[in-house]
Structure 1
C-alpha cells in the first residue's frame, strides 16, 4: 500500500508541475483543463495517506505535505470561479431596458440534428444576440426560423466544425468575417447598436483546440486569443468578446488574454459555468466564454439546458453602465506577459491590424 500511494503521489506531482511549462504540446496544455477533477483525486489521495500509512513515519508526512501542496496549487487556479472569491464584475442595479443586452452563445455540434430545441430556447429567452458555433449549411437553413425576430445576421456556414452564425435583434451597423490565424477557422466582428443608441464592438471567436485530431500544439489557438486581446485594448467603444475558446477559464493562456485585453470575466466570484462536455457530468469544463469591457455590469449569467450538442448554451445579460467602470478592474499584465504575448503572435506571423475594428 505504501508503494502504491507513493507512486500515486509522484503521478500527482507530475500532473501538477507539467502545466507550468509553456510547451504548447496538446498533452501538456490539456492538463490545464481537469484542475477540479485533479483536486478531487488529490483530496482522496490525502485521505488514503492518512488512513493507511504509518503516521509515525517521516515518509508519511512527506507524502502528505507534497500532496497538500499539489491540492493547494490546483485550488489556487479554480477558487476564483467560486463564491469564495470577490466578484470581478459588479451586479447590475436597476437600469433602463434600452441599455441592456442579452447574448446567447451556443456550440451546436455540427452533427447534432436537434435544432428545434435550440430554437425553442431562443424563443423562450429572447436573446438580443445569438452566436452559433460549428453551424453548417444545414444549421443555417434551420436557423432561418429565428430571423423573423432577429433580422440582422452574419453567416459563415462551414462543414469543417468551424462554421459560425450571428443573429441579432439589435442593428448590426458593421460586420466582417476574418481568418486571423488559420485559413479555415473564421471569427466574426460586428458593431451593434443598443436600444439606447450606444454602440458596442463585438468579436465572436472559435479557435481550433490543441488535440491529436486538430492541432498538435496550442500555438494557433493561443495566437488567435492574444491577437484579439492586443486589438481590443485599443478601444473607443465598449467591447464584448464571446465564443468557444477551446480553453478553460483558468488556463495561463486565457489569463493572458484577460491581462492583455483588459476585459473582465463575469464568472469570477460567481461560478465556473461548465459548458462542456454536456454528456459527462464528471468531465466538464468552462470552454464557452464571455468577456467584456468595464463599461458593463452583470444582470445574470447562466448555463442553459442541453439540446443534443456536446456543449451547453451560455446566456448572459449585461447592462451598459459606464459610470460604474471605476468600480471594476481585472488583472494587469506585467513585462513578462507583454513579452510573451508578442512572442505568441510573432511565432504565427499574425498582427492585430488584421483584426477588424470599428470605422
Structure 2
C-alpha cells in the first residue's frame, strides 16, 4: 500500500468516526424530556439513523481493520446508540407477537371498516382519491386537510354516506376535517382542545348489530422548525387518550397523529387510552412522505381499545397527497383475549402537566 493510499484511508476512517459520533448523539438526544421541536423531530427517522449507523460502522471497520484503542470509546457509544434504535423499532418488526389479535371471522353486524386519509390541501387529484375511497368502501372515512375546494369535491360521497360532519377553519385551512359514515353517528361534535384551528371529531357510532363504539378523529399540529414546539401536539394526543379512557364504549382513536408510534408521547397516549397499535408485530406501514425515501414514517394511525379485534390493516397506494391512506377493519368482540399496554405510575400526572402547558 502506498503512503498516499494509507493517508486517504486514515482520513476516511477519521471522517467515519466523526459521523458515528454525530449519529450517536442525534440518536440519543430524544431521551431528553423536552418540547423543543428539533430534538423531538429526531424521534422520527430512527430507522434511517439505524441504517446510516450500520453502514458507517461497516465502512469504518473496512477502512481501519483493527480499531485503535482510542477509537473504542466512539465505537462503544455508537453500538449503544444503534442498540437503542433497534430497541425502539423492534416492536414494529415481525420479531414480536402482534398485540392486536387477528380475527378473520366476525359476527354479522359487529364489524366496522375505517379509512383515514390526509389529502394534502394543495393536492388537486380529487378524482384519484375518490376512486380509491370507493374501491376501499369504508364504513367510516376520515379526511383531513380539507378546505372549501375539497368540500365541493367530496360532496359526491353524500349518496353513499348518509351521515357526515365537517369542520373547515377559515384561516388555518390545513386543519379542515370531514367525517363520512354509512353508520349512524350519535351526537357527533368537533372539539377544539387548546386552540381554535385544530378540530377533533368526537362521536359514537352505532354498528349494524346495535352495539355502539366511540370514534375520536385527530389531526394535531406537527412540530415546526423554529416556530412550533411539540407542546400542543402532545397535549392534543393525550387529551384524546383521556377521552378514550373515560368513554363508556369501546373507542377508536384515528387520524394523522404527526407523531410516530415509538415516540414517548404516543406510547403514553396508548397506555392512558388503553389503546392497541395494529402495527406492533406487523410492520412499520409508513404513510408519510410519499415523495421521499429519507422521510418515510408511520404518521397516520388507527388505534383501538381491547374490545375491538383486527380483521385487516394496511396502507393504500399513493393518490397524489404526501400521505398514504391507512385502513383497518375492526370487529366488536367484548370477549376478545387481548390487552392494551399497562398504565405507568406517572402517566396521568405527566398528561396533566402536558395539558396544563398547552392551556
Could you tell me how far apart the structure 2 residues matched to 1:13 and 1:39 are?
Answer: 10
Rg: which structure is higher?
2
| Aligned residue in 2 for 1:357 | none
SS at match of 1:49: helix
> Normalising to structure 2: TM-score of the pair?
0.93
Matched, 1:295 2:343: no
> Normalising to structure 1: TM-score of the pair?
0.93
SS at match of 2:109: helix
Matched, 1:277 2:289: yes
| Aligned residue in 1 for 2:243 | 231
More displaced 10-residue stretch of structure 1: 328-337 or 178-187: 328-337
Q: 1:177 offset after TM fit, Å?
A: 0.8
Give the counterpart of 1:266 among 262, 271, 278: 278
Could you tell me how far apart the structure 2 residues matched to 1:313 and 1:265 are?
Answer: 16
Give the counterpart of 2:324 among 309, 312, 319: 312
RMSD between aligned alpha carbons? 1.4
| Aligned residue in 1 for 2:177 | 164
Matched, 1:183 2:196: yes
Could you tell me how far apart the structure 1 residues matched to 2:253 and 2:313 are?
Answer: 15
Could you tell me how far apart the structure 2 residues matched to 1:219 and 1:329 are?
Answer: 29
**Distance verdict in 2 for CA 1:267–1:56, change over 3 Å:** closer
Contact 1:53 1:60 in 2 (8 A): no
Q: 1:67 offset after TM fit, Å?
A: 1.7
Could you tell me how far apart the structure 2 residues matched to 1:348 and 1:279 are?
Answer: 32
Aligned length: 346
Q: In structure 1, list runs of 5 or more residues that go unmatched.
A: 350-359
Give the counterpart of 1:323 among 332, 335, 342: 335
Matched, 1:332 2:345: no
Matched, 1:141 2:152: yes
Could you tell me how far apart the structure 1 residues matched to 2:287 and 2:201 are?
Answer: 21
Contact 2:105 2:311 in 1 (8 A): no
Could you tell me how far apart the structure 2 residues matched to 1:238 and 1:269 are?
Answer: 22
Could you tell me how far apart the structure 1 residues matched to 2:67 and 2:308 are?
Answer: 56
